Structure 1
Amino acid sequence: MDTASKPNKNRHFLSFSRKLFLSVFLLFLLFAGSVTLYQYQREKEYKIELLDLQLQDFNEDLYFRLTETPDSLWNSVLNSYISQSTTKELRVTIINPLGVVLYDSYEHNISPKNHQDRPEVQQALKHRKGHDVRRTSETTGVPYFYSATDFGSYIIRSALPYDIDLVNHLAADRHYLWFTLAVTLVLIFIYYHFTSRLGTAITKLRQFAKRADKNEPIETDLQSAFPHNELGEISQHIIQIYRRLRETKEALYIEREKLITHLQTSREGLGVFTKDKKEILVNNLFIQYSNLISDSNLETTEEIFSVCEFQKITDFIGKAHRSPLGKEEKRISLTINKNGRIFIVECIIFQDLSFEISINDITQEEEQIRLKRQLTQNIAHELKTPVSSIQGYLETILSTQDLPQEKMQTFLERCYTQSNRLTRLLRDISVLTRMDEAANLIDMEKVDVSLLVGNIVNEVALELEEKDITVVNSLKPHILLRGNYSLLYSIFRNLMDNAIAYAGSHIHVHISCFREDENFYYFSFADTGVGVSPEHLNRLFERFYRVDKGRSRKLGGTGLGLAIVKNAVLIHGGTISAKNSQGGGLEFVFTLAKER
């Protein structure tokens, strides 16, 4: 309800140009009105002063006449002078300094009252001259305009009736009012035109700001819509700056995607962190190597700073926060030897105190070269053993004519066992070859890993019971990924068979998915058995490699089970590592991609 009413409410708001126009318009009207009123008042005052000046001149002229005339002839001179005056209905009064009326042109209306308190008389006594614009006479009952002049021995006061003629005479000229109104209307029209153009520019600029805020593209004709003035020029510069920033942002985004792609496909573990040790970006190898170096599985990447092997890196970062570092001090490198692998760990501090940590497994290339060198030799050796056994038994049967039937039966059974072993060996070699040469042709489908592992546990239940092995399956239901069912089955089945065959009796096997992100599941397959010496850990996935060769052959192993596991994991976009558990036993940590 509130959201719907907001747009309607906004429509009633005045635009900036309208507000500017109205505010300046009102100020202009107030100024023009004040000036006009002031001018009107000044003109009225000017006309009053002009009339007062005329009456003052009359008073002075009359005074000069009286000074040349004897006192006995004043009445006749005054009456004659007033009657000859061009001003009609002029009233003249002569008052002594004490306020007593000595003469009034209206003789029959002479008042016995003292005139000293009259305003024009008081002004004349103080300033020699005085006037009163409109006051009703107590003598005649008619309003007059009075003008008095003090000549020392007496005061001459002249007055005109304040009638319509005098009112019109004193009224201000209104022609300038019409002129002021006309000028005001012209200025308002010009200012309205100016504010309209200004409002158009501001409206266009507001539209641009809204689109820029929503990260929408700017129309090409928007720049030409601005007026050709300073605001339009500024607006065009702002749009050009925005376009350059947008192009730069798009270029940076492309470079960022390149960097992320490079980071994810890099052959070393890379992690970028803020100065507060918060993860910005890490790749899969960084997580894998961190878990391999750590004694316990890390649920979050930030936990590496609590791993003792990274203590030197942590101290180096803390030093960078406490004091500025020189150019040569912004990088640190250390070697970590853990679980049969050697890692080079480097940390680089950036200008804003964010930093990058890289973990490089320097044993990997060497291991691959050694594996390739020994592969042919191992295949020949592994094939030679069952073939030699079969040949020996068959030669004994052929060369001994009186060989007992029971002995012959035993030799034939042993030949059959060795042929089965040879068959399994050839099958495993075929599987590995198929994974090496035709990995892209393997069919993929949706596989429920939780259900698959549950089926394997049920299949080996008797073997587990014979050796008193307890399986703790901590996988949550419905862990779905896209993969090949047979290869995923071989991963968990070979790891299970390996634990049953070599870990010992009275142990526990823990299967868990300890972490998940948008690309990978992180699995752990651990047992509490006898474990493996550290020098064997990084060779467990080699083809035909055995920790105890005699015992492995006795148990019927081909030496290819973990190699198949590793290749199957690689085909499913993951990585796998082996390490000794902190509480004893062997743990395999591996990842499987959700989509391939």
Structure 2
Amino acid sequence: MTLNRRLFLYFFSIFFLMLAIICFFQYEREKEFRTEQLDQQLSTYNFTIFRFIKEQKPNWEMLEEYVHLFPDTALRVTVIDTTGVVIFDSSVKKGTKLGNHLNRPEIEMSAYTENGKAIRHSVSTGKDYYYLAHKFPASYIRSALPYNVSLVSMLKANTFFLYFMGLVLIFAVLALYLISRNFTRSIDRLRIFTQKAEKEEFLDTDIEFPNDELGEISKNIVKLYKLQLQTKVEVNNEREKLIKHLQISQEGLGIFSSEKKETLANSHFIQYTNIISDQQCETSDQIFSLPEFAELNEFIDKSLLNNQLNRKRLTVEKGGRVFAVQCIVFQDDTFEISINDITVQEHENELKRHLTQNISHELKTPVSSILGYMESILENPDMDTERQRFFVDRSFQQAQRLRDLLQDISTLNKMDEGQRLFQKEPCNISDVISDVLNDVHLQIEQKECKVIQSFQPNTQILGNRSLLYSIFRNLMDNTLNYAGEKLTIEISCYREDEQFYYFSFSDNGVGVAEEHLNRLFERFYRVDKGRSRKQGGTGLGLAIVKNAVIYHRGTISAKRVPSGGLSFIFSLRKF
């Protein structure tokens, strides 16, 4: 039931109850007034007859004539002596034998009170009468009127008053309805608004409220709700962004309350904590019992007591992996723990240190040789021409080696910097291989090698021609320098699909031991360091090959040929 109806029924019930009480008392008072009027009229008849009897000492006929003088033609007058014998009764004929009347209710009542009255059936006449009796010193005088429809109507209260009160009730109901409706209009609209807001069905439309105090309060409530809703939407959007960022972030992040209970933890945080822990952690809260986090746990306890913003960093090594752990305790006693897997960074840093050392070592060798040869020439001006020529040639060879080394380092650096430094264009692999074979045909003839090509002449890919040349040139140089002489070199495209060409570059030379295969593509890695330097290699050729293949979104690996030799298997994307 709506508030409007409840309020209307409440005030209507109170008003109706008050009106009913007023009507009841007024009705009873009206009836009592009508009865008093009748009693007064009958009393007047009784006292008039008493004085007539007292003064005239009349007989039956005189009393009967006297009664007929009264205006009420239906009036019945009875005179009874003190013993109950009827002396006169205007409703019967003279001489009619009537019973003793002392036991009549009105006579019994008048014997003890001022008067007695009763409404009853008359045995003498067979009619219903309204009786009123008075006791006098020598007799009882009783007047009565027939209790018929006319008398009953006279004794009833005036119904005009009831009709008037009914009309008042109707107007009051209408007034109460209008008042309650106007009073609850703001509340009803505010209720509808709250129901829609609760079901999230609220539409951004203005709701009209009455121009009163309650309407003004309702408008302010709606305004505050809209502001709160807008703020909630903005907060939810930011929260969704934050949660999505945390879930896709490579950083493990966990947020905890002051009781060290997990508030939020992304998948990487759960994964990293289980790697660090010797036992599986069902909840992130269990990390505080790990010995690896003992130092962090102590820091958190101290920071929570100080109620200050603090930060703590530490490194945890577990299972061959390195994790950087950072904890920040906020002023509201919440804190966050971030875990980063820095294994790759540490490995890259280690590789960079080794690379720097290798580059320094590789550069130092030819520079030292050149300085030694030049110093010998300068300090021995009498050196014969042939020996000077020999020193100059060796210096030139070392300078060429230094140039090739710097060029290879530059090429690797470019590939490390990204694809934007190399432009792609349609390239024919057969043309690239032909250029390589033309450039090394003297070495092939000197080594008495045989090259077998097995691929379609229109093998086209979208790539960088310079890098494709580097792949096949470095593979060819590696084979000619280290595989031996009188080789059979086979270059084949043994398979293709919708996206890739699959190549094989193999020889039947001396091959490489199994333990070296996985490290052939490392920078400056040499199977036989002394022999490799004598051949003039930089140690970066196969590293360039691998990076060039990766640039073309392919893969490469090396394997031993069962019949002897080495085979490189690699793929190149068509587009």
TM-score by structure 1 length?
0.53
Aligned equivalents of 1:166, 1:558: Cα separation in 2: 137
Once residues 101 and 315 of structure 2 are traced to their aligned partners in structure 1, the CA distance between those partners, rounded to angstroms, is: 121
Matched, 1:357 2:341: no
**Residue of structure 2 in register with 1:144 after alignment:** 129
Give secondary structure in 2 for the equivalent of 1:84: coil
Give the alignment partner of residue 190 of structure 1, picking from 175, 188, 206. Answer: 175
Is residue 21–residue 192 contact of structure 1 (8 Å, CA) maintained in 2? yes
Alignment match, 2:221: 238
- Work out whether residues 94 and 155 of structure 1, in 8 Å CA contact, stay in contact via their aligned partners in 2: yes
Per the alignment, residue 128 of structure 1 pairs with: 114
Aligned pair 1:280/2:267, yes or no?
no
**Aligned-pair distance for 1:230?**
4.6
Give 1:252 deviation, angstroms. 2.9
The answer (yes or no) to whether the contact 1:298–1:304 under 8 Å persists in 2 is yes
Cα shift at 1:380: 3.9
Structure 2 residue identity aligned to 1:434: M
1:310 to 2:290 alignment: no
Deviation of 1:220 after TM superposition, in Å, equals 4.2
Q: Which residue of 1 aligns with 2:504?
A: none
Contact in 2 for aligned 1:268/1:359 (Cα 8 Å)? yes
| Cα displacement (A) at 1:47 | 0.8
Q: Is the alpha carbon distance of 1:358 and 1:242 closer, same or farther for their aligned partners in structure 2, counting shifts above 3 Å?
A: same
CA drift at 1:310: 2.4
Work out whether residues 92 and 105 of structure 1, in 8 Å CA contact, stay in contact via their aligned partners in 2.
yes
1:270, 1:104 → 2: CA distance?
A: 119
1:245 shift after superposition = 1.0
Alpha-carbon distance, 1:374 to partner: 8.1
Contact 1:130/1:148 (8 A) holds in 2? yes
Cα distance in 2 for partners of 1:440, 1:136 equals: 132
SS in 1 for 2:131: strand
Flag the 1:366–1:39 CA change in 2: closer, same or farther, 3 A: same
Q: CA separation of 1:21/1:372 partners in 2, compared to 1, >3 Å: closer, same or farther?
A: same
Equivalent-residue separation in structure 1 for 2:143 and 2:276 (angstroms): 120
Give the direction of change, closer, same or farther, for the CA distance of 1:38–1:385 in structure 2 (3 Å limit): farther
Alignment correspondent of 1:221: 206
User: Residue 359 of structure 2 aligns with which residue?
Assistant: 379
User: Match for 1:348 among 319, 329, 336?
Assistant: 329
In the alignment, is residue 48 of structure 1 matched against residue 57 of structure 2? no
Q: Distance in 1 between matches of 2:420 and 2:170?
A: 87
Q: TM-score, normalized by length of structure 2?
A: 0.55
Contact 1:128 1:149 in 2 (8 A): yes
| 1:179 is aligned to 2:164 | yes
Deviations 1:463-482 (A, max 9, x none): xxxxxxxxxxxxxxxxxxxx
Please give the residue correspondences for 1:51-66 in structure 2 after superposition, counting only pairs within 5 Å: 51-66=38-53
Percent identity over the alignment is 35
Cα deviation digits, residues 507-555 of structure 1 (max 9, x gap): xxxxxxxxxxxxxxxxxxxxxxxxxxxxxxxxxxxx9799xx999x99x
Secondary structure (helix, strand or coil) at the match of 1:69 reads helix
Distance 2:5 2:76 in 1: 60
Measured in 2, the distance between the counterparts of 1:328 and 1:367 equals: 38
The letter of the residue matching 1:226 is F
Q: Which of 231, 235, 252 is the aligned partner of 1:252?
A: 235
> How much does 1:140 deviate?
1.0
CA contact under 8 A between 1:111 and 1:139: conserved in structure 2? no
1 CA distance for matches of 2:404 and 2:271?
35
Cα shift readout 1:390-448 (whole Å, capped 9, x = no counterpart): xx9xxxxxx99xxxxxxxxxxxxxx9xxx9xx9999879745643434489999xxxxx
Matched AA of 1:56: S
Match for residue 69 of structure 1? 55
Q: Secondary structure at the match of 1:159?
A: strand
Query: Between Structure 1 and Structure 2, how many residues are aligned?
Result: 425
CA-atom RMSD, angstroms?
5.8
CA–CA distance in 2 between the matches of 1:103 and 1:425? 162
Q: For residue 386 of structure 1, report the CA deviation from its aligned partner.
A: 9.6
- Classify 1:187/1:550 alpha carbon distance in 2 versus 1 (closer, same or farther; 3 Å): farther
For 1:248, give the aligned amino acid: T
Residues 329-386 of structure 1 deviation map (CA, whole Å, 9 limit, x = unaligned): 89685745535968564363775x7543345899999999998888655434356669
Q: CA deviation at 1:52?
A: 1.4
Q: What do the CA deviations read for 1:167-188 (whole angstroms, capped 9, x no partner)?
A: 3322332222332232222223
Higher relative contact order (CA 8 A, sep 6+): 1
- 1:141 is paired with a residue whose SS is coil
Which secondary structure does the structure 1 equivalent of 2:68 belong to?
Answer: helix
Structure 2 unpaired stretches of 5+: 373-385, 388-396, 425-498, 502-513, 554-575
| 1:94–1:102 Cα contact (<8 Å) kept | yes
| Contact 2:260/2:285 (<8 A) preserved | no
| Greater Cα radius of gyration, structure 1 or 2 | 2
Alignment of 1:323-472 (within 5 A): 326-328=305-307, 333=312, 335=314, 337-338=316-317, 343=324, 345-346=326-327, 348=329, 355-358=335-338, 378-382=358-362, 430=411, 433-438=414-419
TM-aligned CA distance change 1:316 to 1:381, over 3 Å: closer
Whether the aligned pair in 2 keeps the contact of 1:428 and 1:560 (CA below 8 Å) is no
Mapped contact 1:208–1:218 kept (Cα < 8 A): no
Q: Which letter maps to 2:146?
A: P
> How far apart in 2 are the matches of 1:152 and 1:313?
121
- Distance, in Å, in 2 between the alignment partners of 1:347 and 1:164 is 102
Distance 1:378 1:500, change over 3 A: closer
Contact 1:309 1:336 in 2 (8 A): no
Alignment partner, residue 529 of structure 1:
none
TM-aligned CA deviation for residue 227 of structure 1: 2.2
- C-alpha spacing 1:228/1:386, structure 2 compared with 1 (3 Å): same
Rounded to whole Å, the distance in 1 between the matches of 2:300 and 2:27 is: 82
* Alignment CA distance shift 1:167-1:287 (3 Å): closer
Task: Please give the alpha-carbon distance, in whole angstroms, between the structure 1 residues aligned to 2:155 and 2:38.
Answer: 8
Tell me the secondary structure at the aligned position of residue 221 of structure 1.
coil
CA distance in 1, matches of 2:289, 2:22: 81
Give the distance between the partners of 2:218 and 2:409, measured in 1 at CA.
72
Matches within 5 A, 1:74-153: 75=60, 78-79=63-64, 81-96=66-81, 99-106=84-91, 108=93, 112-132=98-118, 134-151=119-136
Q: Work out whether residues 110 and 133 of structure 2, in 8 Å CA contact, stay in contact via their aligned partners in 1.
A: yes
Structure 1 residue identity aligned to 2:68 = S
Task: For residue 249 of structure 1, give the secondary structure of its aligned residue in structure 2.
Answer: helix
Matched to 1:120, the amino acid is E
Amino acid at match of 1:48: T
Deviations 1:126-172 (A, max 9, x none): 4322322x422111112211112234654322111223432332233
Given that 2:408 and 2:541 are in contact with CA atoms closer than 8 Å, whether structure 1 keeps it comes out as no
Task: Classify 1:424/1:181 alpha carbon distance in 2 versus 1 (closer, same or farther; 3 Å).
Answer: farther
Q: Distance in 1 between matches of 2:301 and 2:120?
A: 96
Decide whether aligned partners of structure 1 residues 430 and 441 sit closer, same or farther in structure 2, where only a CA change above 3 A counts: closer
